[in-house]
Structure 1
Amino acid sequence: MSKLVLKSETQNEWEDLMQEGYTHSMKRNSVEAVRVWTELWNRIRDVLKADDNISMEDIDGAFHGMQSIYNWTTDFEMELGNASKKDKSFAQTRIEFCKAYITKYRDKSESNLEGMKWALCESYFDLGEIEEGERLFQKYLEESPTSGWGWIGWSDQYSLFAKKHNKDNDKAIQILEKALEIEGLQDRFYALERLEDLYMKVGRQQEATEVRKHLDQMKAKNAVRPKVALPPMIKAVPVTSVKIGRNDPCTCGSGQKYKKCCGR
């Protein structure tokens, strides 16, 4: 294992870039945040390239700023997703970042890697490279078949977050139905919620009713949606009488996922 040591000058430069990006992020200025953070990522990547034995864990352990590299990488990926809604070039940056992160993270069982994998798949759909997005969703779900949010994310590419030319509710339903056949599927409640909504959209009322009964049974057993935790200094946008999940479109109309917008 590499014993990476970062010079104090490097630590200070990284810290300044990280905090500058967070300043923009807190103001909901995703484009400016990722422009700053891309510079930080380029510097981190230079360190990774200098020695094949250096991993993301080594980078995280060697950095002693206000934020951890581990937490920051998740925020960077999230803001890249936001910024790509305004400028598609950021979708390519997101792809390159996620690929590098997945490759350079030593512990392949780390849960954070799954989020990077789904973000990578989504980015290909954002760029209109549907075949590659499909290939990667299938590949990663073969590796982690019980990942509920992986199946939901794949389904969303044909429903909630689909481009007009790629809208296909029937295919979205097929993906979720296949997921729900898997024993031990994680986040089954949320997959069922998505499926109920899709059944309603295509007029399959009877199936929707059956799914709703199942959801009510899960709620009765306390298998209910956890509250969305908001980090300090960010106020939640009041929402009344609206069922909204972390991966649903935000009700503010931004076009972003709730978890990446008002649910942050």
Structure 2
Amino acid sequence: MEKYHKIDDKIRLGYDHVKKNELIEACDIWLDAWEDIKAIFTEEKLGNLDKLDKKYSWHEFLINFVQDLEMELGNAGQEKEEYHRKRINYCEEMLETLDGSDSLTIENTKRAIAESYYALGDSEECDRLYTNWLEEDPHWGWGYIAWSDCYGFGTNKIEPDQIRAEEIIRIAIEKEDVRDREDVLMRAIEIYEESNQKGKARELEKEKKRLEELTRTPVKSVKIGRNEPCPCGSGKKYKKCCGAQ
């Protein structure tokens, strides 16, 4: 149990640094904790994070911790470019660790890799990754959104390219069975409005409203424990997610 306790102390300390907006310090401590976690995976031959999560009463669900580390590495990269590279390396290791059961975390981790390459000015590698991933899973709605956003928002090294952003999101719109279609439509509407294509934006608004009507279901009142997983599907504790609002 002592080795788990030491890792948990590092995780807790990292969150303390995040609260103070000391992102570099937080990431360094968390990456050290991640090295310890990898060692446990090798030593104990664990198949996934869930098994390790159940071995100890952690300060935070481990699935939350690994996602928070990914996010803060991206934020730290705005201060020091090397942390974009550390984020890529970490996320690649994460993909090797995840067993495939948590598809949302896998998708978010892939997005982080491509986004980091784009932040480093390597749009070609970003394009290559998304092209390969979307060939494997052509219905990944948030894959198209995130790829489009790279071009739509740009970086310190690459100017925004709204034409390219529109081209990418249009591919998703043309796939009627794309996942998270409402989110795809919302992003496309924003792009068309920003480029003054009001007619196209209005047409997509109509489709979005139709989808909302079809998917609307009665809301039931259910009491959720503060330490239970949030029902929104984020993977975080309720008190750290919707319950914090």
Aligned ranges 1:1-264 → 2 under 5 Å: 8-48=1-41, 53-57=45-49, 58-107=51-100, 110-163=103-156, 165-221=158-214, 232=239
Higher helix share: 2
Structure 1 residues 220 and 55: CA distance shift in structure 2, 3 A: closer
> How far apart, in 1, do the equivalents of 2:64 and 2:241 lie?
17
Which stretch of structure 1 is more off in the superposition, 179-188 or 74-83?
179-188
> How far apart, in 2, do the equivalents of 1:169 and 1:163 lie?
16
The 8 Å contact of residues 11 and 59 in structure 2, kept in 1 or not, is answered as no
> How far apart, in 2, do the equivalents of 1:68 and 1:141 lie?
30
Find the residue that maps to 1:158 and give its secondary structure: helix
Structure 1 residues 143 and 100: CA distance shift in structure 2, 3 A: same
Q: Which runs of 5+ in 1 are unaligned?
A: 1-7, 236-262
Deviation, 1:32, is 2.5
User: Kindly, what percent of the aligned residue pairs are identical?
Assistant: 28
**CA RMSD across the alignment:** 3.2
Under a length normalisation based on structure 2, what TM-score does the superposition of the two structures give? 0.80
Query: How many pairs does the alignment contain?
Result: 229
> How far apart, in 2, do the equivalents of 1:208 and 1:102 lie?
37
Q: Which runs of 5+ in 2 are unaligned?
A: 218-231
Structure 1 residues 61 and 142: CA distance shift in structure 2, 3 A: farther
Structure 1 residues 223 and 26: CA distance shift in structure 2, 3 A: farther
The one-letter code of the counterpart of 2:100 is D
The one-letter code of the counterpart of 2:13 is E
Structure 1 residues 145 and 223: CA distance shift in structure 2, 3 A: farther
Under a length normalisation based on structure 1, what TM-score does the superposition of the two structures give? 0.75
- Which deviations, in whole Å up to 9, do the C-alpha atoms of 1:30-88 show, x marking residues without a partner? 3332121111112223344558x544435444444232322211111111111112211
> How far apart, in 1, do the equivalents of 2:103 and 2:205 lie?
33
Structure 1 residues 106 and 178: CA distance shift in structure 2, 3 A: same
